Amino acid sequence: MTVPPRYRLSDAEKEALLLEQAALIERLVARVAELEALLGKPKKTSANSHLPPSQDGPGREPRKAKRRRKPRPSRPGVARPLAPDPDHTECRLAESCPHCRSALSPAAQRCRHRYDHIDLPEVRPVVTRVELFGGRCGSCGRRYRADPPVAMPPGTPFGPGIRALLAYLHHSHHVGFERLARMLKELFGLAISEGAIANAFRRMGPAFDTACAAIKAKLLTAPVIASDETTTRVNGVTHWQWVFHSEHAVLHTIAPSRGRAVAAAVLGEHQPEVWISDRYAGQQDLGRVHQVCLAHVMRDVQYAIDCGDSVVAPKIRDHLRWAIRVGKRRPSLKDSTLAAYAAKAERGLDALLGVPAAHPAGRELQRQIKAWRGKFFVFLTDRRVPPTNNGSEQEIRPSVIFRKVTNGFRSDWGPGIHAGYRSVTGTARRQGQSAWTAIRNLIDGTFVVA
């Protein structure tokens, strides 16, 4: 602001200038107070916000134990049990006495000690040369050739075992293409290029599409569905990986958007009875009833405590912890007892929302809880519903590690392959199958959704 020379100002102009300066000073004082308040707030970490532990930064203080750990009780030592069906048994008979060197008879000896020796044999690829014979027909004069074996079609030289191993190591154990090629060369003596690995994955696309269609059909019959999303990278651009899972099905999809339209496109006309998610706006109003993740709420409560609220936030924290403990006891509780606990939880939370909060963090916490008031204790009225969304976090965590190790996808077809792999292996795990068994069954054409 340019101040004109004093001798040129009239009394009215001086009065206007003083008023303008007073307003400016008032705004600057308010801004200074705001910045000082921000400096006084605690830093948001993975313990009091949605931030992952990787963003806590280096040099963070270790979390202090709430109580001193008791020493572990002593217990007898254990040894690896003997294999019930060993491949080979080697019996060793003593030929002479180690003390007097006298000759010993085999008939007088019995087994005094047994142990197993376990090792891996040298693994080498089995190469089968396929020769298709043919000739010229003596009747019609046209050329003919024998049909190839069904299990060994022409095209890629790599069989289902190698393709399954490549997918398993890459998507389950996050081994990159260059390390995959080196690993197969050094361990198995199999020379394979990174381009051949990429082509092997691309050929799995139709199988994954068919499996995901069956998984989606199974998912859309579920009354309770949980969901979560995380970021991923496709050709250097941020995309979003969504997971939807029920008791018997797990479906992953990768889309360029985090909008509600992604979940709506997956659900179609289906509306589950209960929807479980965090409080992200794109996850709202997708089910008839919504259970929010109490683990996320607890972190917001912890942040209010860290800010200095000692009246409202600690009581809300204790109340939510009590409700979660009741939820863990649901299998042993009668319906009437569980209904009484649910009513008690609702009354207790209503009472805490009515407590006058002197601290701004406490008032903000009350405002947030009021906005989501009817979505906290659905798990106390429906035994199928968990109190948190940890199931979705566990399903999506391997993909987060995959992104951190590989830095995402460098092709347009890579996201679909990874989402299909996570869908197949996640669904198979709920059927009691391992990831290796699931991917081998998929490549062999025997994967089914129970």
Comparison of pLDDT for 438 and 79, the residue scoring more: 438
Nearest CA to 237 out of 397, 410, 418, 396 is that of 410
Q: How many other CB atoms are found less than 10 A from the CB of residue 413?
A: 13
Residues with Cβ within 8 Å of 80's Cβ and at least 6 positions away in sequence, in order, are: 116
Residue 151: which pLDDT band, with cuts at 50, 70 and 90?
A: confident
CA 2 to chain centre: 59
Using CA atoms, how far residue 408 sits from 50, 194, 424, in Å, is 22, 16, 20
Mean pLDDT to the nearest integer, 149-162: 91
Residue 70: which pLDDT band, with cuts at 50, 70 and 90?
A: confident
Mean pLDDT to the nearest integer, 160-164: 95
pLDDT at 193: 95
pLDDT at 326: 96
pLDDT at 416: 96
Mean pLDDT to the nearest integer, 36-56: 70
pLDDT at 38: 67
Mean pLDDT to the nearest integer, 334-342: 95
Measured torsion, CA atoms of residues 305, 310, 312, 317, in degrees rounded to the nearest 10: 50
Instruction: Output the six-digit token pair for 217.
Output: 């059909």
Number of H helices, E strands in the chain: 13, 7
What DSSP element (H or E) covers 292? Answer: strand 289-292
Q: What are phi and psi of 219, to 5 degrees?
A: -60, -40
Residues 201, 376: contact at Cβ < 8 Å?
no
pLDDT at 210: 96
Q: Is the pLDDT of residue 52 over 80?
A: no
Comparison of pLDDT for 378 and 72, the residue scoring more: 378
Q: Is the pLDDT of residue 72 over 60?
A: yes
CA 316 to chain centre: 28
Instruction: Output the six-digit token pair for 160.
Output: 């289902």
Measured torsion, CA atoms of residues 164, 169, 174, 179, in degrees rounded to the nearest 10: -120
Measure the CA–CA gap between 218 and 208, rounded to whole angstroms: 15
pLDDT one-digit tens code per residue, 273-288: 999 999 998 899 999 9
Quote the Cα angle for 272-276-278, to 5°: 140
pLDDT one-digit tens code per residue, 225-248: 999 999 999 999 999 999 999 999
Measure the CA–CA gap between 297 and 124, rounded to whole angstroms: 53
3-state secondary structure of 55: helix
Nearest CA to 243 out of 83, 48, 426 is that of 426
Measure the CA–CA gap between 336 and 196, rounded to whole angstroms: 62
Using CA atoms, how far residue 104 sits from 98, 107, 369, in Å, is 10, 9, 84
Residues with Cβ within 8 Å of 438's Cβ and at least 6 positions away in sequence, in order, are: 424, 425, 427, 428, 429, 447
pLDDT one-digit tens code per residue, 272-326: 999 999 999 889 999 999 999 999 999 999 999 988 888 899 999 999 999 999 9
Residues 402, 419: contact at Cβ < 8 Å?
no
3-class DSSP string for 148-185: CCCCCCCCCCCCHHHHHHHHHHHHHCCCCHHHHHHHHH
Q: How many other CB atoms are found less than 10 A from the CB of residue 227?
A: 27
Quote the Cα angle for 76-80-85, to 5°: 140
pLDDT one-digit tens code per residue, 180-226: 999 999 999 999 999 999 999 999 999 999 999 999 999 999 999 99
The mean-pLDDT minimum among 35-44, 80-89, 120-129, 342-351 falls in 35-44
Residue 43: which pLDDT band, with cuts at 50, 70 and 90?
A: confident
Phi-psi region of 5 (alpha: psi -120 to 50; beta: other; left: phi over 0): beta
Measure the CA–CA gap between 309 and 316, rounded to whole angstroms: 11
pLDDT at 424: 98
The model carries a pTM of 0.83
134-136 and 143-145 beta bridge pairing: antiparallel
pLDDT at 59: 58
Using CA atoms, how far residue 166 sits from 42, 180, 436, 448, in Å, is 46, 7, 11, 21
pLDDT one-digit tens code per residue, 358-403: 888 899 999 999 999 889 999 999 999 999 999 999 999 999 999 9
The residue type found at 37 is A
3-class DSSP string for 347-410: HHHHHHHCCCCCCHHHHHHHHHHHHCHHHCCHHHCCCCCCCCCHHHHHHHHHHHHHHHHHCCEC
pLDDT one-digit tens code per residue, 84-143: 999 999 999 999 999 999 998 988 899 999 999 999 999 999 999 999 999 999 899 899
pLDDT at 267: 95
Nearest CA to 422 out of 229, 267, 177, 243 is that of 243
Q: Give me the DSSP letters along 96-109.
A: B-TTT--B--GGG-
Q: Is the pLDDT of residue 336 over 90?
A: yes
pLDDT at 327: 95
Measure the CA–CA gap between 16 and 244, rounded to whole angstroms: 63
Residues 403, 292: contact at Cβ < 8 Å?
no
Nearest CA to 387 out of 286, 282, 276, 301 is that of 276
pLDDT at 60: 60
